[in-house]
A and B are shown apart, each in its own frame.
Chain A
Amino acid sequence: KAGVTQTPRYLIKTRGQQVTLSCSPISGHRSVSWYQQTPGQGLQFLFEYFSETQRNKGNFPGRFSGRQFSNSRSEMNVSTLELGDSALYLCASSWTQNTGELFFGEGSRLTVL
């Protein structure tokens, strides 16, 4: 069974641009969560989707948004990029809502110049 797939793996953007990251969960998993990882703040929860509905949202500005499609694939978007948005963005999937084991992708490393 294929694992969680995140694309792109690496990307470089400049301040003010926007970016869309994609996540394909493990087949059959209906819950997708996103985390931002930086050296200073560690792993910060962004949002969780279950059956196309956002179930939880972390403490991030409105520039960060996401969605989930009917096939459970998820995207997150960051608009008006700032230098501080440089991070590793991790997607994780699970069978049910965010209470059990999470299966993580390899992440998308975003660098904002």
Chain B
Amino acid sequence: SQQGEEDPQALSIQEGENATMNCSYKTSINNLQWYRQNSGRGLVHLILIRSNEREKHSGRLRVTLDTSKKSSSLLITASRAADTASYFCATVARNTPLVFGKGTRLSVIA
């Protein structure tokens, strides 16, 4: 069963714009992670945020976590065509494996 649910399912923006994706989950977590997947390829880890953290940055990525609302957001600033991919959130609860959402398909148009 899916723990995380991403929103929107698909997002299309112009190069240079910011892209925001949201993830909601249902149970308490130890950490939440974001991954990227280019079409038909393996997933690449982007960032991990622990349950006691509220915000984390990595390059053009900014992740927030609100445990009271059981939600997270991923912001990609100044998007590039190379950012076109599917983005997944994955939650980790105590003694359980990573559970992935169904992802957001991001298209960045040059």
| Residues of chain A whose beta carbon lies under 8 Å from any beta carbon of chain B | 4, 33, 35, 42-43, 45, 48, 56, 58-59, 88, 90, 92, 98-107, 109
Are B33 and A4 neighbours in the complex by a CB distance under 8 Å? no
Residues of chain A within 8 A (CB-CB) of B101 are 42
**Tally of A-B Cβ pairs under 8 angstroms:** 52
Tell which of A59, A98, A109 touches B98, judged by Cβ atoms closer than 8 Å. Answer: A98
Stretch binding the partner chain, chosen from B13-21, B35-43, B61-69 = B35-43
Interface centre among B96, B97, B101, B102 (most CB of A within 10 A): B97
Are B45 and A101 neighbours in the complex by a CB distance under 8 Å? yes
Are B42 and A106 neighbours in the complex by a CB distance under 8 Å? yes
Residues of chain B within 8 A (CB-CB) of A109 are 40
Residues of chain A within 8 A (CB-CB) of B42 are 4, 90, 104-107
Are B45 and A56 neighbours in the complex by a CB distance under 8 Å? no
C-alpha gap A29/B100 in the complex (Å): 21
- B31 CB-CB contact with A under 8 Å: yes
Are B41 and A45 neighbours in the complex by a CB distance under 8 Å? no
